[in-house]
Amino acid sequence: MAATAAPRSPATIAPAPPTLAVPLPLAGLLARAVVAGLVAAAVLVPPLLAGSVWQQRIALAAIYAVIGLSVNVLTGHAGQISLGHQAFVGIGAFTSAYLSFRLAAGFPVAVLVAAATGAALAGVLGLAALRIRGLYLALVTLAFGLTAETTLFNWRAFTGGGAGAEAPRPALVGTDLRYSYLCLAVLGLVLLLDWRLVRTKAGRAFVVLRGDERVAATLGVNVTGYKLLAFVLSGLLAGLAGALFAHWSQVVQALDFDFQIALVWVVMAVVGGLRSRAGVVLASAFFALLPTVLPELLTASPVQPPFLNEAVYHVLPPFVAVVLLLLTLILVPGGVGQLLLPVRRWLAGGRLRTGRSAPQAGDGG
């Protein structure tokens, strides 16, 4: 859980802050250990205390966080936009459902093949998208997502058409409690992978590639290769999240993967703060819960404004998403990650406040 507790600054890949050279006093070390422990507890304990409904919600939040990190690989690390992520998540969901229900494959096999399928599909899009960027890339990914949605996801033999495809859970993770822990564990692994990515060769190649492709190439970075890697890796995580989603909902339909949802996934990565793991996870969890929790809260509130009713509450979430996106872009371009920066610095052994302003995080992808 260390990765959740102490995410690294979005914009730097510094080995360690220089402040670490001075050993912390015991009290400081203890305080930080307590905070890290509390964060771990805040993630791990709630499923135990919650009922089935919230166990399901926690699982969905973890699945969304994996999707957020998948978008983050492509948009945050490699600087490529994708408005067609529902294609990769969807193909993962339907593949896992098909394998486990129709072909009676084991759960781990179904999930892994689903992840590989997501990677392969993203690789195909990546190959097509290698030579374009910016607005045109956005358009191509958008068209790709819409095409997948209307063709692949409506292929009756594969997806069950309108009735949807069944995706049973194996007994080992059959309960909502166990399934929520499975999703949290997968999220932990994905966080670890992202942490490794940023600290090694591939992450550094992405940093320079994002800045200037010509400079990257003269430093020996195979620009097309690394762009393709970003697509494949992003598709892998998206396919994985799709498989988890399929067995979470236990029935998947083409409607689950429409264009709007792909927009929400991009928004949550940006609001979370591109390249900030903790920020992306928090924002993804928020957007996972928003459509169910917001109407619930408003309906339950004692004061009901005359012009609002339950029907309106259910169309509020997209509105909230857009407002949050605007607020982020205008006020905190680094997203939640930027707001978390002082905490992160403190956990890493620095001071909570420093004279220097926070490094710039998101460049908007």
Partner 1 sequence: MTGLLEVRALSLRFGGLQVLDAVDLDLPEGMVVGLIGPNGAGKTSLFNCLTGSYRPQQGTVRFRGRDISGLPTHRRAALGIARTWQNLGVVGGLTVADNVLLARHQHAGYHALAGLLGLPGTGRRERELRRDTEEVLDYLDLRQYAAEPVDGLPYGIQKRCDLAMALATDPELLLLDEPSSGMGPEEAHQLGATLAELTGQLRLTVLMIEHHVPLVVAICDYVYVLNVGQLLAQGEPAKIQQHPDVVAAYLGEPDGAA
Give the one residue of 3, 114, 183, 197 binding partner 1; rule: CB under 8 A. Answer: 197
User: In 3-state terms, what secondary structure has residue 162?
Assistant: helix
- Among the listed ranges 39-47, 80-88, 104-112, 226-234, the one in contact with partner 1 (CB under 8 A) is 226-234
Cα separation, 22 vs 306, whole angstroms: 60
Window of 6-14, 22-30, 263-271, 307-315 that interacts with partner 1 by CB under 8 A: 6-14
Provide CB contacts within 8 A for 292, sequence distance 6+: 57
Q: Which of 51, 135, 214, 305 binds partner 1 (CB under 8 A)?
A: 214
Residue 31 CB-half CA count within 13 A: 13
Q: Is 196 in the site for partner 1 (CB under 8 A)?
A: yes
Please tell me whether residue 215 binds partner 1 under the rule CB under 8 A.
Answer: yes
> Does the protein bind partner 1 through residue 23 (CB under 8 A)?
no
Taking CB under 8 A as the criterion, the residue among 35, 128, 208, 320 binding partner 1 is 208
355 binding partner 1? (CB under 8 A)? no
Query: Which two three-digit tokens encode residue 250?
Result: 């236990």
Interface with partner 1, residue 360, by CB under 8 A: yes
200 near partner 1, judged by CB under 8 A: yes
31 near partner 1 (CB under 8 A) = no
Instruction: Tell me if 353 contacts partner 1 by CB under 8 A.
Output: no
Tell me how far, at minimum, the Cβ of 238 lies from partner 1, in Å: 17
Closer residue to partner 1, CB minimum distance, 153 or 226: 226
Per CB under 8 A, does 204 bind partner 1? yes
Among 2, 14, 189, 327, binds partner 1 (CB under 8 A): 14
Based on the shown chain and the rule CB under 8 A, indicate whether residue 131 belongs to the binding site for partner 1: no
Q: Does 20 bind partner 1 (CB under 8 A)?
A: no
Q: Does 218 bind partner 1 (CB under 8 A)?
A: yes
By CB under 8 A, name the one of 134, 170, 211, 364 that touches partner 1. Answer: 211
Residue 219 CB, shortest distance to partner 1, in Å, is: 5
CB 105 → partner 1: shortest distance, Å? 25
Q: How far is CA 119 from CA 78, 145, 230, 299, in A?
A: 16, 14, 10, 41
* 207 belongs to the binding site for partner 1 (CB under 8 A): yes
> Other C-beta atoms within 10 Å of 272: how many?
34
> Of the candidates 52, 150, 175, 222, which one interacts with partner 1 according to CB under 8 A?
222
CB of 123 to partner 1, least distance (A): 14
How many residues line the site for partner 1 (CB under 8 A)?
33
Q: Does 223 bind partner 1 (CB under 8 A)?
A: yes
In the range 153-192, which residues lie near partner 1 by CB under 8 A? none
| SS3 readout for the chain | CHHHHCCCCCCCCCCCCHHHHCCCCHHHHHHHHHHHHHHHHHHHCHHHHCCHHHHHHHHHHHHHHHHHHHHHHHHHHCCCCCCCHHHHHHHHHHHHHHHHHHCCCCHHHHHHHHHHHHHHHHHHHHHHHCCCCHHHHHHHHHHHHHHHHHCHHHCHHHHCHHHCEECCCCHHHCCHHHHHHHHHHHHHHHHHHHHHHHHCHHHHHHHHHHHCHHHHHHCCCCHHHHHHHHHHHHHHHHHHHHHHHHHHHCEECHHHHCHHHHHHHHHHHHHHCCCCHHHHHHHHHHHHHHHHHHHHHHHHCCCCCCCCCHHHHCCHHHHHHHHHHHHHHHHCCCHHHHHHHHHHHHHCCCCCCCCCCCCCCCCCC
Q: Does 354 bind partner 1 (CB under 8 A)?
A: no
Nearer to partner 1, 19 or 150 (CB): 19
Contact residues toward partner 1 (CB under 8 A) are 11-15, 18, 193, 196-197, 199-202, 204-205, 207-208, 211-212, 214-215, 217-223, 226, 229, 233, 359-360
